[in-house]
Amino acid sequence: MNYKNNSYRSLTPNHLPEYEYDEMKTKPLKTPDSWLKTAETLSEALPYMRKFAGETFVVKYGGHAMGDASLARKFAEDIVMLKQVGINPIVVHGGGPQIGKMLERLKIQSSFIDGLRVTDAATVEIVEMVLSGSINKQIVSEINAAGGIAIGLSGKDGHLIEARKLRRTVRDPDSNIEKILDLGFVGEPVRIDPTLLQEFAESDIIPVIAPIGIGAGGETYNINADTAAGAIASAIAASKLIVLTDVAGVLNKDKELISSLTIAECHKLMKEGIITGGMIPKLETCMHAIENDVEAAHILDGRLPHVLLLETFTKYGAGTMIYRAEE
């Protein structure tokens, strides 16, 4: 067989995204050794494909991966791959930097308390516009371009995420009196209606969800994307909650990656001050999900190309897995 003339004989623009077909025409042909490596990788992935077929993964998408065109494209390819092998991916996305840029352009001042954006009536309109509009549709377009069938939603669609006002308290260091902080239209989920998601699970559709909730009186609430993803994962008893971040995962005191943690070990590391800062709420979301019917949670580095596939279909995975220890 003449490999040079026939290597791509079955690949046409109808089978590949346009960008990939253009790259294929300019890149040198692979050698038989590289083909063998590809075959070995597929063989390694097969048991995991069987294991997770029919399961649901909730993937929180955000951070640097959203702002990098190449990583965004690879993320979309990974999501389509999961769907293709029988896994039901649900994408829940953030968009903090994009919201910040739009508020700056419109000269709307905003502030943060404990990492949460104080959201007044003017700000929540911009938050909804950016999250449910431009960001959501961009992700949908990327997944569709990669060969999937994605549909964009917000938590307001079909009463998917019913929310209430999030209340936080702070203790005055001088008087030792607690006071309630008003974060405006920042919300927390109180009920997830999985009806739409169950319909999508039985179809070819991949839902992409903006973390906007609706209150009892029709109010719009801005919800932290990690929190929304965890609540959705719990409501549908997902096999996995996967949180993409801008770090390798959970690190030990020597700044080395911890590949797996039980809930008890998470509490111990937080108590010892080894886990601090923004990783604490992410771990709390993961632990809460596991305590509410999610089998496992993963904190992955979204800056790593194809990190979803590495975690799902390889022996050693990637990032940190949190799980419930068997009693």
Report if residue 20 sits inside a domain: no
Report if residue 53 sits inside a domain: no
Based on the structure, what is the number of domains in the chain? Answer: 1
Write down the mean pLDDT value for the chain: 85
Report if residue 250 sits inside a domain: no
Report if residue 107 sits inside a domain: yes
pLDDT mean over 142-153: 96
CATH number at residue 192: 3.40.1160.10
Report if residue 227 sits inside a domain: no
State the pLDDT confidence band at 157, using cuts at 50, 70 and 90.
very high
Report if residue 172 sits inside a domain: yes
- Full 3-state SS string of the chain: CCHHHHCCCCCCCCCCCHHHHHHHHHCCCCCHHHHHHHHHHHHHHHHHHHHHCCCEEEEEECCHHHHCHHHHHHHHHHHHHHHHCCCEEEEEECCHHHHHHHHHHCCCCCCEECCEECECHHHHHHHHHHHHHHHHHHHHHHHHHCCCEEEEEECCHHHCEEEEEEEEEEECCCCCCEEEEEEEEEEEEEEECCHHHHHHHCCCEEEEEECEEECCCCCEEECCHHHHHHHHHHHCCCCEEEEEECCCCCECCCCCECCEEEHHHHHHHHHCCCCCCCHHHHHHHHHHHHCCCCCEEEEEECCCCCHHHHHHHCCCCCCEEEECCCC
Report if residue 224 sits inside a domain: no
State the pLDDT confidence band at 154, using cuts at 50, 70 and 90.
very high
Question: For the CA atoms of the chain, what is the radius of gyration?
Answer: 21
| Residues of the domain holding 146 | 81-215
Q: Give 10-44 pLDDT, tens digit per residue.
A: 444 455 555 555 555 555 555 666 667 767 777 77
pLDDT mean over 62-83: 90
State the pLDDT confidence band at 8, using cuts at 50, 70 and 90.
very low
Report if residue 242 sits inside a domain: no
Q: Give 75-104 pLDDT, tens digit per residue.
A: 999 999 999 999 999 999 998 888 888 888
